[in-house]
Structure 1
Amino acid sequence: MEISFKGKRILVTGAGQGIGRGIAIELWRAGANIVALSRTRSHLESLQSEYPSIEIVSVDIGDWAQTRQLVESLGQFDALVNNAAVACCEPFLQSTSANFNRTFDVNVKAVLNISQVVAKKMVENNIHGTIVNISSQASKAALQDHAIYSASKAALDALTRSMALELGPHGIRVNSVNPTVIMTEMAKVGWSDPVKAKEMLSKIPLRRFGEVSEVVNAVVFLLSEKSSMINGVELPIDGGFLAT
């Protein structure tokens, strides 16, 4: 299946490393003009050193006003990937107000903020665009020490459905993907230990964690016209975790 984004302008948040970086690169390879957004400038500069035509912008998306001003200044887009997120993992009884606020500011409010700006310009310019939100299997199943993170991703799924409902009449599709543990460099630190990984892997029928490319490929499909009738879905990329 050949997918091209030639002539399309796409904003990818959290594009400095991990899944976001993989998405930005694959969309660039498919011909898109990419704007990569991240809080960490050095990660963006590393990406741009490899792919000089990728435009980079740095902002802490937890700052509503600053982020809105920046995204407004970037002009119009044909597609958006809301990938940036934070994960504050702690036991429920020890969860703090500060971590709750930070997590929801980045994982939910920032998606609302950025998507409002991008979608409004899509509507104004009659662009039948696409938006993909990166959620998690944690929105669907309880995971130890993930109370705040899980709540934020469940809220993101609900936001995705509402966006799909209200933006659909404008020809704008909105979907989410819900991955299990994905073996980014950061994840390898926490999940390469067979003892720690054993319980989680036992719940995944494929008996392995996901790779970045497996999330990237799903996102690329959902952004493309190959998925033109798919709207408002939450697509698990979990090897069957949620089927058990």
Structure 2
Amino acid sequence: MEISFKGKRVLVTGASQGIGRELVKKLVKCGAKVIAIARNQELLESLQKEEPSIEIYQADLANWKKTEEVLGKIGNVDLLVNNAGLAVLGPLTEVKEEDVDRTFAINVKAVINISKYVINNLLARKSPGSIINVSSQASLTGLVDHTVYCASKGAVDAFTRSAANEYGKYGIRVNTVNPTVILTDMGRLGWSDPKVAGPMLERIPLRRFGEVDEVVNAIIFLLSDMSSMTTGTNINVDGGFIAV
């Protein structure tokens, strides 16, 4: 499929590395004007060296007010990918308050805050739009040592359904992409031990973890008019994990 975002301004959070970084590159290839937000200024600058056409903004999305200040500088946004995320893993009995607060601030509050800005912008211009929230298979199943993370991604899915229902009449679509383990640099490191990876792979019918471009391609599809009748839904990029 030939997908073009020419003339579209696309905001991507968590853009400096992993899925977000590769997504930015793919969007540029598709003709989009990309606005990249991340916490790490050095990585953002290195991305801009690779893709000089992009705009970069440094922000800690856990800070609602500071994020609002950054959003106020970026102007119109046609498409949004809420990709920034945080996972603090461990037994429920060892969870600390700061783990919960930080996880929900990044995974949930930031999604609400940024989506609110973009939807207001779209409504003011009477423009349709598409918002993709990067969720997880963890929103749809229970994973050991993932209680806080599962709860936060479950909230993302619930928010997505509600926002899709609320703003569909304005031509604004809201969906999630729900990946399994994806082999980013961090993913390869975290799942390199066969003893850790083995049990998870046994639960995935395709018997492998996902590649970054497989998530990027799903996001590109949902952002585009190719998915014009799709809203309020999850696209599982999980090798069949949730289906069995």
- Which bracket does the TM-score occupy, shorter chain normalised? over 0.9
The 5-angstrom pairing of residues 21-100 of structure 1 reads 21-100=21-100
1:19 aligns with 2:19: yes
Aligned residue for 2:225? Answer: 225
The SS at the match of 1:210 is: coil
Partners of 1:145 and 1:21 in 2: CA distance: 27
Q: Where does residue 125 of structure 2 map in the other structure? A: 125
Match of 2:234 in 1: 234
Match of 1:179 in 2: 179
Aligned to 2:134: 134
Aligned length: 244
Could you report, residue by residue, the CA deviation over 1:150-198 in whole angstroms, capped at 9, with x for unpaired residues?
Answer: 1000000000001101111111000001000000001111102222100
Query: What secondary structure, in the 3-state scheme, does the structure 2 residue paired with 1:241 have?
Result: coil
- What displacement does 1:45 show? 0.8
Q: Structure 1 residue runs of 4+, over 4 Å off?
A: none
CA distance in 2 between counterparts of 1:29 and 1:91 reads 42
SS in 2 for 1:165: helix
Q: Which residue of 1 aligns with 2:102?
A: 102
Q: What is aligned with 2:3? A: 3
Unpaired runs of at least 5, structure 2: none
AA partner of residue 209 (structure 2)? F
**CA RMSD in angstroms, aligned pairs only:** 0.6
Aligned twin of 2:216 = 216
CA distance in 2, matches of 1:67, 1:40: 14
Q: Distance in 1 between matches of 2:80 and 2:243?
A: 29
Show CA shifts across 1:193-231 (max 9, x none): 222100000000000000000000000000000000000
Supply the AA of the counterpart residue of 2:146.
H
SS of the residue corresponding to residue 126 of structure 1 reads coil
SS at match of 1:56: strand
Q: Separation in 2 of the partners of 1:73 and 1:171?
A: 25
The normalised TM-score by structure 2 is: 0.99
**Structure 1 alignment gaps of length 5 or more:** none
Secondary structure at the aligned position of 1:242 is classed as coil
Distance 2:88 2:27 in 1: 29
